[in-house]
Amino acid sequence: MELETAETDGHLRESSSRKKRKRKEGKTRMTTKEEKNPTVSIAVAGFIIDNAQSLELATLLAGQVARAATIFRIDEVVVFDNRASSDVDTVVRPGHDGNESESGAEFLTMILRYLETPQYLRRRLFPMHKSLKFVGLLPPLDAPHHLRKHEWCSFREGVTLDVNPPNSKGTLVDVGLNKNVVIEEVLEPGKRITVAMGDNRGAEIDGFKKAVDSSSPRDQIGMYWGYKVRYCSNLSSVIRNCPYKGGYDHIIGTSEHGLVVASSELVIPSFRHLLIVFGGLGGLEENIEEDNNLKGKNVHDVFNSYLNTCPLQGSRTIRTEEAIFISLQYFQEPIKRAEQLCNGK
């Protein structure tokens, strides 16, 4: 009897141990899957802005780039300048006084950041600036994270306030609702954060909330949560300063001199971080030639693929903002196939 009981207890412990291992393995698989979520970035030559004949037209051009990035669910937009060399990329501050000379790339960077920011946060994060004079003319991005007051979501973008929360520690955060929320973390004021609002719609304001990584909405509920913006001094720094661990594992250049392949026949290998690059008026060949870090290299040294996404163009030129729309549509199916390959489907 004692032997039977011991055996039973042993089976129970073994069964319990197996269940724990399965739960642990399940969590590991989930974490691994989340880490493998592929990203798509685009890099745009910011000096295309320099050819705009007025501030109004420059703003409209920037708005087209922002709309394309949002429509096609781009994760990162990199704006690169045409500086021959630079050890440190300029940091474009949304709140500088506007009296400094500003390159087209810096202007484009600011407009892209402004448009990606939810409307209810812009006043706090973007002080008055001459570059923002005509942004009111642009159509809204209407991205999923640009929530209205009456809309509920398990995540919201917010900005930390310089006000102590009543009767509690933590940080008061404006998330675009009638009432500010409190997070447990103590953060400096004026910082944009993503806030997990919880699953209970009825209690969305009450209680402590949690600041989470900006990738959480995408990883946890599959929701597109806008694009990041990065400024680089030249083309080589776009690749060299990639924010993703391991860098971009597949880089595509676009040009009228590129290889012509039908979208249905294009094979993009399984990737974690894909980068698609769009040059300026002189094309990517000129961008490579003017970059001291790329001297002596050609397009095939810099890019894994060099493609012509619109071979039957009727106009002598395709403007960069047009090329972005055309190319991102062209890449939709090949990217989808590559992502399915990455996920093992």
Torsion of CA 275, 137, 58, 52, to 10 degrees: 130
pLDDT per position as a tens digit, 61-97:
999 999 999 999 999 999 999 887 765 565 545 444 4
Are 305 and 275 in contact by the 8 Å Cβ rule? The answer is no
Give the residue-averaged pLDDT of 262-274: 95
Give the mean model confidence (pLDDT) for residues 323-331.
97
Position 202 confidence tier, pLDDT thresholds 50, 70, 90 = low
User: Mean pLDDT, to the nearest integer, of 326-344?
Assistant: 90
**Domain chopping of the chain, boundaries:** 39-91+102-145+227-343, 155-215
Cα 298 to Cα 253: distance, rounded to the nearest angstrom: 11
Burial 267-278 (b: 16+ CB within 10 A, else e): ebebbbbbbbbb
User: So what's the pLDDT on residue 89?
Assistant: 63
Question: Average per-residue pLDDT in the chain?
Answer: 85
> What's the first-to-final CA gap in the chain, in angstroms?
52
Q: What is d(CA 115, CA 123) in angstroms, rounded to the nearest whole number?
A: 12
Predicted TM-score (pTM) of this structure: 0.85
**What local confidence, expressed as pLDDT, does residue 22 receive?**
43
pLDDT at 340: 84
Per-residue pLDDT at 203: 53
- Report yes or no: 273 and 249 within 8 Å, Cβ to Cβ: yes
Does residue 252 carry a pLDDT above 60? yes
- Res 243: pLDDT: 95
Judge whether residue 120 has pLDDT over 80.
yes
Residue 115 half-sphere exposure toward CB, CA atoms < 13 A: 32
Does the domain at residues 39-91+102-145+227-343 carry the CATH identifier 3.40.1280.10? yes
Task: Report the distance separating Cα 114 and Cα 110, nearest Å.
Answer: 6
Lowest mean pLDDT among 28-42, 110-124, 224-238: 28-42
User: What percentage of the chain exceeds 90 in pLDDT?
Assistant: 69
User: Is the pLDDT reported for residue 19 higher than 80?
Assistant: no
Q: What is the pLDDT of residue 306?
A: 97
Is 39-91+102-145+227-343's fold the same as 155-215's?
Answer: no
Fold category of 155-215 in CATH: OB fold (Dihydrolipoamide Acetyltransferase, E2P) (2.40.50)
Check residue 317 and give its pLDDT. 87
